[in-house]
Every structure is written in structure tokens, then in C-alpha cells.
Amino acid sequence: MTSPAIPDYPLPHEEVERISAVDQRAFAETYQTGDRKPVIVTDAMRSWPAWGKWSFDFFAKGFGEEKVIVTNRLSGATEARKIKMANYLAYCQFPGASSLARIDTETPFYLTSFSPFVSHPELLEDFTDPYFIRNAYRRLEGANADWYNSGFGWIFIGPTGTLSPLHLDLFGTHAWLAQFSGRKRFLLFPRNDFPHVYDGAPDFINPDLEQYPRLAETCPVLAELQPGEVIFIPEGWAHHVVSLSPSISLTFNFVDESNMVDHVLAITRDLPNWVNKTDQEAFRAQNRVYWTDASFTTPSSPQPDHD
């Protein structure tokens, strides 16, 4: 499909703040505590080997023969296709020449499930967590580190117009997203706006106030992320994301002392899904997880010896 131009957001909003050269303590005090707020950091990825290296050509050469699953949106997908990475990357840059363009979808096909860090650990050498955050999950080693890297980090690749509908990130985590190619527009809503966003039902690209009048009572933060920039999304901020041009992004969810309690409470509220997330043989073995529960879809495990 041919993606239409993305119009400016027509309702009241604030512009995201851009900062650089901030230390961890100042960042935590300003953006991770109290009301919390999203921010773009402009100098967080410039020292990464991945910056200037990760591109459409890089992934075509290194991963072109691998099969990937692409869908027409990040969540609530109605169409999915399995395709060679090289063919998908060609679609991202020249959509009209691909067979994917002949499939009738409202939004273009999007690669959102690409988490290659266990099968290609060399990619982990190309970047670090942004210097301004602390990440409790980086203390994990071995199978636990593989569990984190494969379950909380992704590379997003897509053409102009790919869409992530309004959503909250999983299990009370914060998130950072680094932009390598293209531009993305983030529309971020704080918790006090949640009663007015109709559970994400509106079209946030062309909002209809007659159908959704309470949208006029919101004041989201709008962020246009440029290549070389990293956006921080605090826990509790719902966000809608659309690609303004062919895009490559890297994102990880993370936890530190500022959201650890929220994270634990989110796990407790959604315990069956959390158990499914930890239901990996290597993870269970390394952490000596022997229990099972009929309410959860976990496999049987050998029980420890008893005296």
C-alpha cells in the first residue's frame, strides 16, 4: 500500500523537551520521579558502534536470508506474513515494488518481533544502555541475561506509516528507544488523560472530535524523534507511534529503583502472563524453578531431592 502523508497533530499538545549531557542523578530526579515525563536525549547513542553502522544495507547483508514475521500493526494485527528479511527491507524502502503492497491493509507491514540478540550476540557489542539510565535487569547473567535480551528488547523496522496503536508498556517498565534511520512521531498521554482517550479507539492521526469529544480535554506530549536521538518513555505514559519515513529503531524496557514497586505490582496483577514470560527451560533451570500451578501454562519440572 502507499502510505499517505502524516498530518500535523491538530489538538492541543506540548512539545517534548530535548536535552544532552545529563548525569544519572539529575535525570532520575527530573524525569523519573514525581510526575515523570518523557524526554529526548540527543547525545546518547553517538558513541555506539551501531550508530552509523545499523542501516537497511547492514541488515540486508547480515540477515537478508533469515525469515521474519511482519504484521500490519504492533498490536491487534489483522494480517501477518513470513518473508525473507532482504525482501522486507526492500519493501520498507520501495513499498510499491513489493508483493506486500498488493495486500489490502490500513497500515503498512511492520517488523516488531525482531529480537535477534541471543542468536546474534555480536549485536549486543554494538550498543549499551543509554548513559543516563540505570537498569536493574543488566545484573542478570547467562540464561537470565538471554531471557531479558530476548524478551524486553527489539529492533523495529518498517516503511513510512507503520503504526503502534496507543498502549502502555509491559509490566510497569520504563522504556528507551533509539532511532537509527528515519523519523517517528510519538504522542504520549499521562495518566490523568486516560479517561479521555477512549481506550485508544480514536484515530490519533486524524482525530474525530464529533465521535470522541473528550479528546479535546487531553494535552499530550508530542515528540518527533530524529536519527541519532533516544526517547525516554516513563512507566505510566500511554503512547501512540507512527513512522514518518522508513525507520529502524532499537528499544528496551527496563526497571530501576524509580519504578520497581510499580513493576512488582504490575507482575502481581498479571501473574499468569508474567509466568508465561518466564516459562523458558533455561531460565527455569538456572533459577531452580520447580513449582507448577494448574492455573498457569507452565511445563512440569523435576522436583528437588528431599531428605
Query: What is the residue extent of each domain of the chain?
Result: 23-286
Amino acid letter, residue 182: G
Tens digit of each residue's pLDDT (9 = 90 or more) over 9-50? 999 999 999 999 999 999 999 999 988 999 999 999 999 999
Counting other chains too, the contacts that 118-123 makes at CB distance below 8 Å and 24 or more residues apart are 118/146, 118/149, 118/150, 120/62, 120/63, 123/50
pLDDT value, residue 304 = 46
pLDDT in tens, the chain (307 residues): 445 678 999 999 999 999 999 999 999 999 999 889 999 999 999 999 999 999 999 999 999 999 999 998 777 788 999 999 999 999 999 988 888 988 988 899 999 999 999 999 999 999 999 999 999 999 999 999 999 999 999 999 999 999 999 999 999 999 999 999 999 999 999 999 999 999 999 999 999 999 999 999 999 999 999 999 999 999 999 999 999 999 999 999 999 999 999 999 999 999 989 988 998 889 989 999 888 777 665 555 444 444 4
pLDDT value, residue 296 = 62
- Please list, residue by residue across 169-205, b when 16 or more beta carbons sit within 10 angstroms of its beta carbon and e when fewer do: bbbbbbbbbbbbbbbbbbbbbbeebbebbeebebebb
pLDDT value, residue 276 = 87
Give CA–CA dist 88/92, Å, rounded. 6
Say if residues 284 and 301 touch (Cβ distance below 8 Å): yes
pLDDT value, residue 306 = 43
The grid coordinates listed for 141 are 547473567
pLDDT value, residue 307 = 43
Burial degree of 42 (CB within 10 A; 0-12, 13-18, 19+)? middle
Annotation: CATH topology of 23-286: Jelly Rolls (2.60.120)
User: Helix count (H) and strand count (E) of the chain?
Assistant: 7, 14
- Going 125 to 130 to 132 to 135, the CA torsion angle's sign is negative
Find cell 523537551 and name the residue: 17
Would you give the DSSP letter of residue 215? G
